[in-house]
Structure 1
Amino acid sequence: MNAQIVYDECINEFDQMDLFHSVINVEDDSIIIKDRNKRLILVNEAAENIFKKKADQLLGKILGDVLPADIVEQLELGDDDILKNTVYSSKAEIINIKTIERSYWSKKYAYKKNESDSICGIIHILKDITNWLFAESTLNHSKEHQSLILKNIPSKIVELDLHGHIINTNQSILGKLPEEVFGSNIYNIISPVHTLYLRKAVEQAVHSGYPEQFEISSIQNKNIRWHSNKIVPIQENGTCKSILLIETDITRQKQAEAKDKRREEILKAYVNALPDTVFVINQKHNIEEILSTCPDYPANPTNKSCEGRSIYNFLPKEHKEKLQKNIRQTLKTGQSRTFEYDIQGSGLWYEARISKVTARDNFGDLVVMVSRDITDMKRNQEILDASYKESEQLLASISSIMIGVDEHDKINRWNSTAEKMFGIAADSVMGKPFLYCGIKWDWSEILTIINNCKEKTEVSHISEKVQYENRKGEDSYIGITIYPVLDKNNEHRGYLLLATDITKRIHMETQLMQAQKLESIGELAAGIAHEINTPTQYVSYNIDYLNDAFTEINHCFNEFMALSENKTINDRNNLQILTDKLCGRLVRLKTHMDDIPTALEESQKGVESIARIVKAMKDFSHPGDKDKVFIDLHEALDNTITVSRNEWKYYCEIIKEYDESLPFVPCLPGELNQVFLNIIVNAAHAIKMKYDEETTTGLIKITTSIEDDTAVIRNQDNGCGIPKSTITKIFDPFFTTKEVGKGTGQGLAISHHVIVEKHKGKIEVDSKSGEGTIFKIFLPFEE
């Protein structure tokens, strides 16, 4: 029997069955009918999706012919029990068909032709529940997600019945876990004050059907905490069944509101304290509000008199166009703008600063205009400009060189004197590094001075004498003063170099020094002549003696020669006379032979003494070199002592105590000799004044030593000393205590200048009137 015959028979049989008609008409369900041999005899259209084949391709086949084994196993589960007549229908099962990724609710029934007949086959109904299972899964996931959200939401959510009993809550209440408070009355848990507010809100929400809300504070751990309570009625069919209490901690919000309020009060106080008139202007250029008013502002605008009026009513008409332009530009670009305007005839000036306030609502952007009285500032600016102009004119009139350098070592000032002296135009050096400005001088020395100026915060650093080449190519000298420019934090912001050409002064000082030397030599000339005359006299006496001795020796020699050549003398008496005469000459010759060495020695000492005095005078009076040279201080002192000998030898004795370990010292020899002479001569004069009428002689003690890398020359005398009233003036030019015509007052002034300015040393004096004076000179070993 083929499948078509079986199908036709079944159809004929089913036409007689009411059950067949009711099953076959079920919508969307898949219906599969198999005979006792599990062959397919009916497959509706919905079931074709399971097999992915048409019904006519399936009739007469078993499931194993058209489906995978694992699916067949699911679809045939329970078939044997039904066919064996052990059960009438199978249990409802859920099966998953992977090939089509669908899930089905499966139910099987046995069918018979009559109640008494045996089972003819199986009716298998499959209901597609894929979407239902997905919806159930989604719902379960949604519930889990909702539960997770409720547990982690910062607000506390409590569901209450109408009597206040807790139905559900997502958080603990006053330290009690949710499971511990279910069924409890919330009014018995919260504070009395909270209860009062909550009861009232619940009554109003139940009565109105709309949510109610209130805020309440409490003390927790000695701190104030704020909470917002929202009461939401839950209604069913227009009747309130329960209450939803949503409590949110708003402490931070309250704190922020308090801070904002305080800031607002501070800002308001600040604005009120400003000496300004502050307008708030809308896009139509009308005044919305006046935040503050300057008492002196024209028309004295207030909120009451100005609200809604045009801003142009409160500004001079001649400035209307300028204000319109600035307001429009500020609204367009958002950039703040500033302009100044004056009130004609009043002498008052104002500065208007316009800023945009971007709107955060639908009312449009605003402009804030702050109008400040700048009359005093304008007047001060005019004074400052005039002062600046006057200062510039003053600086331009300064005859000194002025060069300004900023903190980046760039030139920012170069006056006309600098142009004239260096032959360099200002335009060619402005903004350039100072090192490359083109001045021809010893840059190593200048940079050393500048670096010292940068490292220190002294007002100035001075270099007395700097050699440079002027615009004519000639060697010249300038004195430099460098002033560091410091800001208010005492930070270096550059320096100002002031310089004066001192070439003429240097030449004059040199001439003055030499003249002073010559003056000193002139004053010592008589003494020096006497010192030279004494050895000259005994040299002259010895020469006269030697001349006489030589004449007599010569006569004696001639007589002996005559006697030796005369061979005719026979007279014995004549021979005796001649012999006696020669013997007398020989006796005198012997005396001369004893005295001549002494005369020669004395003459040699006299010549050496003269040579020493002449050499001392030569060394002392020589102008010297322009640059320092290393010299022997002891030799310089000895030369000075020799030259000045006639000034002191009658009144005092000089004792020398030299430190033989003293090295050579860098000095200007000629000028230093003048210093030594001034001090020794002054000491001799002081001793003469004290001991002039006495037979006692004075004492000058000259010592040398080394102290802290410095050579020290100490000149001590026991003369009359210097009164306290005048000791502070001894280094002043033209100051002297000597009689008129006896001193010029230049000696010690020049000495101080030479030691301090030219040798970078120092000179000190200590004196007691009637006891004596000590001069100490300190000379550094390094240049």
Structure 2
Amino acid sequence: MARILIVDDEKAIRQLVSAALHDFGHQCADAADAAAARVLLEEHPFDLVISDVNMPEESGLDFIAHVIQTYPDTATLILSVLDTPAVTQRAIDLGIYGYVVKPFDFASLRIAVDGALKRRALEIANRRYRQNLEQLVEERTRQLRAQQRDYEILLKTLPCIVYTGRKDWSVCFLSDQFEAVTGYPREVFLSGKKRWNECILPEDFSAAVEAVKKAMTNDGAFLREYRIRDGQGRVRWIQDRGRIVFDENGAVDHVCGVLFDITERREAREALKQAKEEWERTFDAVPALIDVTDKDFRIRKVNEAFARRVGMPREHIIGRFCYEILRGLPEKCPQCPYGEGGPPSRFLDREVYNAHLGAYFRVTSTPYYNSDGSPAGCISVSHDITALKKAEEDARSAHRELEQLIAAIPSVLIGLDAQGRIVRWNATAENVFGLRALKVLGKPLESVPIEWQRDRLEAAMTSCRQKRKPQRVDDLRYTRPDGQPGFLGLTLNPVDMGLRQEMGILIMGADITQRKLLEAQLAQAQKLESIGQLAAGIAHEINTPVQFIGDNTRFLQEAFRDLEDLLEKYRELLDLARQVDGLSEAVRAVEETADAVDLEYLTAEIPKAVAQTLEGVHRVAKIVLAMKEFSHPGQEEKVPTDINKALENTLTVARNEWKYTADVIADFDPQLPLVPCIPGEINQVFLNIIVNAAHAIKEALNGQPDAKGTITVKTRAEDDWCEIRIQDTGTGIPEKIRHRIFDPFFTTKEVGKGTGQGLAIAHAVVVEKHKGHLGFESEEGKGTTFIIRLPLESP
């Protein structure tokens, strides 16, 4: 039963047609003009509209045009007394379903109405089939493109020609695929013998140039498609996707991009277009299998494709059962979706495997009805999707391979959708961050319980989405949920999600904490080596002048002792001269000169000054020697080392750090044997701990004038170990952070005062390189003792 709207300005005609159609089993409504009919159409859907041509105000043809444009699922029929060529031609141009001339008989009216309704049902089925097919193709294409993008990102391969060209159309780089696509040797173009514009067909050349001109006014990116004539004379379609690169003056420097051979795609597009046009023109041109069956499952009509597929002439098919022809069965299929009640009462869409034809089909079925509204049968469209099913299996196989590949990648891999939600979190990410994928998938990245430099990461993500280019983030600090800190090196890659041009992000990277620690150790070693080289240079430059200053000062000391003996004799001679007449004036002159130069003061102070000078020279030589012995430049192997001497040198070098805040007590074991170690690195351990001790004491003193703490350094030999204890009277280490003291880059100092590397490096040197032990004892408010134990024998 169909809903039919009758529009005619003559009430008698409306009543006559309504009564006739009601007898045919249809439900009818009527309107006296187009305006009333428009209201009814807005309120209720109709399967068919029957309209007169001549009506007051809006004509029937204009109204029919409105119906066809606004309600494409509604069939239209003209019922008019007019039968002029002009009216007939416009009705044909509008695409009406039938034209009944008044006066009419009920038989012709019924035939026209049934024909219009059946054609409408066929067109709706055809459109739905096309829509479903296009959606399916679009969905499969989107999935394949997404998988292809993943492969391109991970494997860095491109199924295309990569090129770099000059503005005169010559090229300076072509990838290996060039010859396979174009049929020309690369050398012909790279040598300048041939230019790319010579291959483009003349009729496409102006559009190709225009695309570049347009790109120059925007961001330089362009996308163009044109035809070329390859080396064998064949015409091939090329998609040219590239970017213009400008020099610092804004002039074109070169062009780079990729060339895709889209010949097959263009041919397929053209074939699809032709097939669509042919489908609209003729039923038989449809490549799908179309069959029209009645309610008893007998075939009433098939297209040419159906006949070819089953291998029978159409005249041998018509009238036989569908299950007999399509399935090769003597009775109705057990799994038939129509059930016992005949054809379906609604649209059906399903995928089936037809063993008789050996193929997969996507079958859409739409019912059609008798004039009395009872089901007459159905129209089925079967499309062979065997190749598509194979493509789905290939896609699933490719997806499995991709998942295996991703699982094998030893890098952190985090995928984000366009809303920033996590869609991928591989095993390496689980290990690095200590978070299982099940706990983070589907959540926004910012909600993950990882502390990191969010401003740097968010800025890189924003730039990645806006520029649609990979972004690099180096040395990104982060802290795991368990409190363990570290560094990351990340690359953010844009991923086109294919929906409304939204961009996702694929984050790839690695934990570079160990590398940073090694770099810090190397920097410390280089710094120590530089100090050693500087100390050697200072010793070379200072030792000689210090030596002759010392030698000359000792000479002056000894010479002054001789002069003192001589002065004593002069005093005795002066006493004798006082008793001789005539020498009184000379004696007085000598005494006045002695008083003028303060001879008594000079004879008392000159020996003291000389002694102090010798003491200063000795101290200078001692400091230079301590710096030289502290650094051991170039020493990379373990050697027997005097630990007491090493600590003494370290205290001398670090004196400026502790002399104003602490007194140092050195309690060294004089019987301590030599310890096998790398002197420069062990000295660095001592220096870090002593400097930390001085800083802790300074913090504990809190600016108290004239107050000092104490740093006590002890050495002892215990069994097969050398034990060094460095104790301070500082603030102590809070209980809550003691477990993190040796973590790389952990520090409690303010920014600029500490890097958090000192104790981590010390731990690595003592424990990993020397197979020793490094620990501490601490009491808040009273101080800390670091305990270093080194084996007396090399392990």
TM range (shorter): 0.3 to 0.5
Q: Which has the larger radius of gyration?
A: 1
Taking CA–CA contacts closer than 8 Å with sequence separation of 6 or more, which of the two structures ends up with the larger relative contact order?
2
